[in-house]
Amino acid sequence: MNNTSPTLIVIAGPTASGKTAAAIQLAQHLDTVIVSADSRQFFREMSIGTAKPSDAELAAVPHYFINSHSVTEPFSVGDYERECLHLLDELFKANKTVVMAGGSGLYIKAVTEGFDDIPAADPDIRDRLNTEMAINGIHALQERLKSVDPDYYQLVDVNNPQRVIRALEVFEATGKPFSAYLTAKGNSRPFNIIKLALDMPRETLYDRINKRVDLMMQNGLLAEVEALVKYKHYNALNTVGYAELFDYLAGKVSLDDAIEQIKQNTRRFAKRQLTWFRKDKDIIWLDTSDINLTENIIATIDRLLPSS
């Protein structure tokens, strides 16, 4: 670790694991700011279903990449990498440390490691895959991805059509699996990186997810989704918590079934997040059941930060 370089501190983990609170407490201790690495909290129109930090939490510490974009704007992981690195360059002029919080492993990897050059999208292939999905549903594309790129299939949110189609179009255009481009050979960053992740028993995590979905519904998630029906064709809304309620509003499922599907799909998503993060050998895992969690996070960071 370079003692003269600034440090990016990543607080990662699955959805509903308590990353927001942990990141805020750490940022306050370090008197610094938070950069979000949550691929859904970028979007202004989506709040309840993305479990954004509350107004009080946003006021407690300056946050970046929260409400920064519209669902109508294309915003890829490559866009995020470019914008976030530029932002960090600016933030590190005033801060020796910056906290990054989020559960989107691909976005964290983009900033901390980067990727090999991923081929540009082929509009003809993408149009054909979108047509196939419209006719046959996403399941057929999921199965194809599982066959041609099992490594990426285990990591990606397969309920996100944009991610599935992107991986398949790269494979069809190049003959190489999408996962082959995620190696980040030779990329370096002008800052130190410390990665922490929050862990808890699977049953505890799933219970937290189920209760949070119930709370989202109590807080008005259905009304939020109803207001977004006119945007439902945008990729940002092809996501857990929104897609299921669009199906309810279209009369395809009952409300109870839609809520249960949100819980099930969120649990599956959390499982994939854990699979992704456990592959990263640089991550230090912390047990959230520890009553001294905050103190342990702060002590771990204080121990690992460069001394000068």
Quickly list DSSP for 137-195. Answer: -HHHHHHHHHHH-HHHHHHS-TT-HHHHHHHHHHHHHHSS-GGGG---TT---SSEEEE
- Say what the pLDDT of residue 303 is: 93
Write the CATH number of the domain with boundaries 7-115+184-304.
3.40.50.300
Residue 17 marked ligand-binding: yes
Instruction: Name the segment(s) of the chain with CATH classification 1.10.20.140.
Output: 123-181
Report the amino acid identity of residue 65. Answer: F
Tell me the HSE value of 241 on the side-chain side, using a 13 A CA sphere. 24
CATH 3.40.50.300 domain position(s) in the chain: 7-115+184-304
H or E stretch at 9: strand 7-12
Q: Are strands 34-36 and 283-287 parallel, antiparallel or unpaired?
A: unpaired
Q: What is the largest CA-CA distance in the chain?
A: 61
Strand pairing report for 283-287 and 97-101: unpaired
Is there a contact between 15 and 103 (Cβ–Cβ < 8 Å)? yes
| Helix, strand, coil percentages, rounded to 5, for the chain | 55, 10, 35
pLDDT reported for residue 1: 65
Which stretches in the chain have pLDDT values below 70? 1, 184-187, 308
pLDDT of 134 reads 83
Helix, strand, or coil here: 34?
strand
3-state secondary structure string across 260-292? HHHHHHHHHHHHHHHHHHHCCCCEEEEECCCCC
3-class secondary structure, 97? strand
| pTM greater than 0.85 | yes
What's the confidence (pLDDT) of residue 107?
Answer: 95
- Is 14 annotated for ligand binding? yes
Q: Residue 232, annotated ligand binder?
A: no
Containing 98, the helix (H) or strand (E) segment is strand 97-101
Q: How far apart are CA 286 and CA 302, in angstroms?
A: 15
Domain 123-181 maps to which CATH number in 3.40.50.1000, 1.10.4030.10, 1.10.10.10, 1.10.20.140? 1.10.20.140
Q: Does the annotation flag 76 for ligand binding?
A: no
Does 13 carry a binding-site annotation? yes
Distances (CA, A) of 232 to 52, 68, 187, 244: 20, 19, 37, 11
Residue 183 is assigned to a ligand binding site:
no
